[in-house]
Chains A and B, each alone.
Chain A
Amino acid sequence: MRIALIGFGSVGRGIAEAIVHKNLDLTVSGVADSKSGIIDPAGIDMRAVLERKRETGMCGEEGISAMEIITSADYDLLIEVTPTDARTGEPALGYITAALRRGKHVVTSNKGPIACAYHALRTLADEHGVQLRYEATVCGAIPIMQALENGLAGNDIRGIYGVFNGTCNYILTRMADERLTYQQALLEARELGYAEADPTYDVKGIDAAIKLVILANTVWGLSTTLDDVDTTGIDAVTSDALELAEGQDCTIRLIGEIVPGKEILRVSPRIIPKSHTLVVSGTLNAVMVDTDMAGKVTFIGKGAGSSETASAIISDVLFIRDHHVKRT
């Protein structure tokens, strides 16, 4: 199966590393980053691409654009891992749409297009008889989509609760354990690379809210947008508040909740018993799925990172290859 890889930041490089170092039997026929591109129907030497990116900051030649690769190169499946725009979904939305229109399978880690245009993209994929998979958009390495779609097939999903943002979880964990102020914990998270220079997207709860939108729209077929999520971040939480919670054997975590039956779609800091299964440390994510037959099932794992996100992408790619592509 031939792959076009669009986006060569940390996630794109993680995927390239996996293709180079593991015997996955995948051929890459096109690669693009924001400035350059490379096309070779016979298969690109990903080791050389990684090295070029390291040395020059570009994966290929200037003048070959992502859109050019998507619309003209020879490939079976598009891996789309460009940066997220939560409001418009662009440019990823345009890339995915173009690939689906050409009848190509798409795997993405990009929350923007899935949150903004899931139903339109799903319809387009169905019309062209191709797959659209997005495991990496929610909770990184945790195979939550695969679990909801296959592992828990037949169950009625009553609700999903979780710690969906590793940055916030890290900050709250450090505030609770070391009695750091919010600002100190945020600074530490930045130094360790867990928080962006502009942490708004994480600490205001927007990242977690987008993941809820994706789950609401894909699991329950709702048509929610970011504005429908009742969102409160952690930037006003004090270490005093964490200490007050500690007094009753509780802590504070940023919890995302979807319970369609009760019209709950909310991200907010919550007082939660320390013994609760969702109380995880550091940058971990945790998701609890409440079902009618299986009861409550909880998944814990890394929600971000280069190889962790690559894991989710590769899993989607191999799933499509093994279930939907005729092997020659």
Chain B
Amino acid sequence: MQVSMKLEMKDAPGQLVAALTPISEVGGNIIAVIHQHDPKHLSGTIDVQIMLELPEKNLEKLIGLIRSKGVTILRIGEERLLIRHSIILIGHLIHTDLTDTVDRIDETGFAEVAELHMVMPAITEPSSAKITIKSASEADMDRALDILRDVAGQKQLLMIETMEDHA
């Protein structure tokens, strides 16, 4: 599983290493460390955000080990789905079973619909919906968008995708 943790530790040499060492001890992999020197707390501590992957059963053990180093865990959360991408669907969304459209993404296990904002005009008019999908990686997002393209094709919906910012 992927886990994100926000740690609070003393701004002193060796502290970060001390906090990170237990991760490999429990068979985990560090994906990212976001080290914010500023702003410092009045207490002289700093916050560090880490993203890691580890066997789910070892999470409790890791928490204990980190705490034993004198590091405070401010927040911990399972952050499986980090990539977000919005698209707009236009068409007869309700009549073509919107629940099924959402399920087709949710049932993949690697992506899910995080947000859905729909505008419905008159009953005969096509509705428009903005759908935000979350996934664990760019590759998973591509797979999810492929599925959605297929679904849109089958249900004769217009799918408008986001253009990456080239500017």
Q: Which A residues are closer than 8 A to B by beta carbons?
A: 161, 232, 236-238, 240-241, 243-245, 247-248, 250, 252, 255, 268-273, 275-278, 288, 290, 296
Contacts and interface: CB of A to CB of B under 8 A. Distances in A.
Interface in B88-103: 88, 90-91
B88 A276 contact: no
Given A244-B117, A247-B117, A271-B87, A290 B166 contact: yes
Interface of B: 86-88, 90-91, 117, 119, 121, 125-130, 158, 160-163, 165-167
Contacts of B162: 250, 270-272
B164 to A, nearest CB: 9
Given A236-B158, A238-B126, A248 B163 contact: no
A27 B59 CA distance: 84
B128 A255 contact: no
Nearest to B88: A241
Contacts, number: 76
Contacts of A237: 90, 158, 160
A244 B166 contact: no
Contacts of A240: 90, 119, 121, 127-128
Contacts of A268: 160-161
A245 B2 CA distance: 31
A236 B119 contact: no
B76 to A, nearest CB: 29
Contacts of A236: 90-91, 126, 158
Contact of B158 (A161, A232, A275): A232
Contacts of A244: 88, 117, 119, 128-130
| Nearest 4 CB-CB pairings of A with B | A240-B128, A240-B119, A244-B130, A270-B163
Contacts of B88: 241, 244-245, 252, 271
